[in-house]
Structure 1
């Protein structure tokens, strides 16, 4: 690693990526209040979350190749600047249409900032990219763990507009730190300058990367099945209180952080592919157990302690597939990040409709769909192993 790879730089990169979960989760407790203040239907305010995620995915598609073309530092400064200004504007919004438009701008600019981080990690950590990604994921997961509570605290002492003022202050602080500390990735002398489409042709045309990308998609589908179904499963089906739900959800976030900590300690010793497959084994066993306990209609705690190792396994799968994909494209990390991010959200978007389609009033569909996602990862890894198999016979020269 270079001298810029000080641990504080990793903290800064995690803080950049955390802008998205903070913007998504911090205002959730304020949705009913926002609807009342803007004289809007609660469904319109809830729609702002889907609009935000769609704009974020679209932004990644555009800004990923631009990061490879113009550099990470200027794009990060532009993104955080736009995120900050749109957060200020959101604090002054007076109509629901204005609120929704500003959320689109906030997400779009946030994508410009967050898409640069994996490329910087790839530059700093080289073959140990998975270790750097584990550090970032471990710290970044504090955002969804803390953001709803912070939003509730802000509502207790002030109004919903102060949530967006707080996001603006956060964005401005990170902008200053980027301007002061974020290094630019030097371009190799013989490296051709990419254009907007050549990067996508390179990424999608790489046969060895496709099984890894599809593995990431199946893993993300399983992960979003949990995120989408867990309120119904824990609260409505098993009868947990809202306070118990917060604790149980926090427990799973802690398990995700633990998985990233384990990955950061072991990935250098055994490699990203080994850690990915260790996560796949853990996820497969846990998903089978989860399906079994829900088929037998056992109580809440069997589901809780089946989901925890399953989420750890999915974290190991996701972190290491991301790293392996990035390592395939040293000159197109922005584009590869955009592909990963967009397809991750795109595959996760199937979770809600499929859960609704198979809904039968129990937790079994959620468990079976998570198992389906894990088995999809397994098939991709079997195919990946087939592509990279060693020759069975080596002909020695006479």
Structure 2
């Protein structure tokens, strides 16, 4: 099985990944209506988002090793089946407690479907995994870009329950396509161009946690995983604070905010497109470090602009390349990690996915703790995440030199 076996396979994999951002973002405009209809406090409905993310992270931890032992296709089918059933049940729920339980189950099943995707991309693209991951991210970014607008459009013609009916139809369609087109990976392919340290890597055997031991014991994987965490922290600082910064601090309208936020998503897609064009020539590590250079410059400029209280456009035009740089860091770090574990790609995906959300969870409390009513805490926290990536890349270079002292 190769990426040429079906020209639209990468689109299908992106569509599988997209079930999570669609489930997260489509119902956001409907939160007040859900609270009113279920006679619940708005805080309880907002809590459903945290519950969803927590259940998704827990599902990745469970299903990652299972993907390595049971196979990708059965797990994807199971996950999409569960996601579809939960979505239709959510459309008919009549109290907040059932709503919260079903959202947790929906996320848990969604994790089973999505955790298999990076392993399949690694199998298809092999040493060009970063290129495949760039294509995947570029297509998948359409989901968070369009989902809130789709949810709002549904509310114009129907009620909030129709949002979950649309999610049901989407998941059922993806299930049918997965049933027909998704390949199974019989065994991993190890290419001579891969990292020499994995050429004779044994498949994790023993208890459920063996795969995690393999991942965390790799001396080159640890700094890459930590790089991903610091980069994700910066990214989630933006996601958490951007509405306050643009609307409350700079005073833009909700409509202008939507345009500015959409422009940042387009920058993420553009960065992935550039990566897909250049990564086969320069390699994932160089592209990661190029993204880091862009991120450092942009984050420093963002801090300077906000320190002097310059107008919104200085922040907008420094945030845009910063988002692009963080995307290059994220995509190439994920690819480098997956490529190091041909036998345990599901477990590696579970580790990166869980720690990505876990590191992002620190953004909200830290922004609240350092809140001053200005954009400086947001700017400095984003810069601190980028500096963390620099430290991790120095750690990676030190370990690489120790493992391969003859490498120039």
Name the TM tier (shorter chain).
over 0.9
Work out the CA distance in 1 between the residues paired with 2:211 and 2:375.
42
Find the residue that maps to 1:388 and give its secondary structure. Answer: helix
Alignment CA distance shift 1:3-1:227 (3 Å) = closer
- Where do 1:16-165 residues align within 5 Å? 16-165=16-165
Q: Bigger shift: 205-214 or 382-391?
A: 382-391
Give yes or no for contact 2:51–2:103 (8 Å, CA) kept in 1. Answer: yes
Work out the CA distance in 2 between the residues paired with 1:45 and 1:95.
11
Work out the CA distance in 1 between the residues paired with 2:34 and 2:66.
35
Work out the CA distance in 1 between the residues paired with 2:238 and 2:332.
20
Alignment CA distance shift 1:374-1:164 (3 Å) = same
Shift in Å, 1:270: 0.4
Work out the CA distance in 2 between the residues paired with 1:136 and 1:392.
32
Find the residue that maps to 1:389 and give its secondary structure. Answer: helix
1:235 to 235, 243, 247: 247
- Aligned-residue Cα RMSD (Å) equals 1.6
Work out the CA distance in 1 between the residues paired with 2:26 and 2:188.
41
Shift in Å, 1:354: 0.1
Alignment CA distance shift 1:207-1:169 (3 Å) = same
Matched residue, 1:365:
377
Work out the CA distance in 2 between the residues paired with 1:231 and 1:365.
14
Give yes or no for contact 1:69–1:193 (8 Å, CA) kept in 2. Answer: no
User: What does the per-residue CA deviation read over 1:256-284, in whole Å, with 9 as the maximum and x for residues that have no partner?
Assistant: 00000000000000000000000000000
1:276 aligns with 2:299: no
Give yes or no for contact 1:48–1:100 (8 Å, CA) kept in 2. Answer: yes
User: What does the per-residue CA deviation read over 1:144-202, in whole Å, with 9 as the maximum and x for residues that have no partner?
Assistant: 00000000000000010000000000000000001000000012699657452110010
2:312 to 287, 300, 315: 300
Give yes or no for contact 1:322–1:340 (8 Å, CA) kept in 2. Answer: yes
2:213 to 193, 201, 213: 201
Give yes or no for contact 1:252–1:311 (8 Å, CA) kept in 2. Answer: yes
1:183 aligns with 2:183: yes
Alignment CA distance shift 1:3-1:107 (3 Å) = closer
Matched residue, 1:312:
324
User: What does the per-residue CA deviation read over 1:230-260, in whole Å, with 9 as the maximum and x for residues that have no partner?
Assistant: 0000000000100000000000000000000
Matched residue, 1:223:
235
Work out the CA distance in 2 between the residues paired with 1:236 and 1:10.
40
Shift in Å, 1:349: 0.1
Work out the CA distance in 1 between the residues paired with 2:203 and 2:228.
29
1:386 aligns with 2:387: no
Matched residue, 1:343:
355
Q: Bigger shift: 15-24 or 180-189?
A: 180-189
Work out the CA distance in 1 between the residues paired with 2:245 and 2:76.
39
Shift in Å, 1:393: 8.8
Give yes or no for contact 1:125–1:132 (8 Å, CA) kept in 2. Answer: yes
User: What does the per-residue CA deviation read over 1:327-384, in whole Å, with 9 as the maximum and x for residues that have no partner?
Assistant: 1100000000000000000000000000000000000000000000000000000111
Shift in Å, 1:390: 7.7
Shift in Å, 1:45: 0.3
Give yes or no for contact 1:5–1:124 (8 Å, CA) kept in 2. Answer: no
Shift in Å, 1:389: 2.4
Shift in Å, 1:6: 3.1
Find the residue that maps to 1:87 and give its secondary structure. Answer: helix
Give yes or no for contact 1:4–1:183 (8 Å, CA) kept in 2. Answer: no
Give yes or no for contact 2:224–2:337 (8 Å, CA) kept in 1. Answer: yes
Work out the CA distance in 2 between the residues paired with 1:118 and 1:155.
34
Alignment CA distance shift 1:95-1:298 (3 Å) = same
Give yes or no for contact 2:119–2:345 (8 Å, CA) kept in 1. Answer: yes
Work out the CA distance in 2 between the residues paired with 1:162 and 1:245.
26
Give yes or no for contact 1:26–1:151 (8 Å, CA) kept in 2. Answer: yes
Work out the CA distance in 2 between the residues paired with 1:48 and 1:147.
17
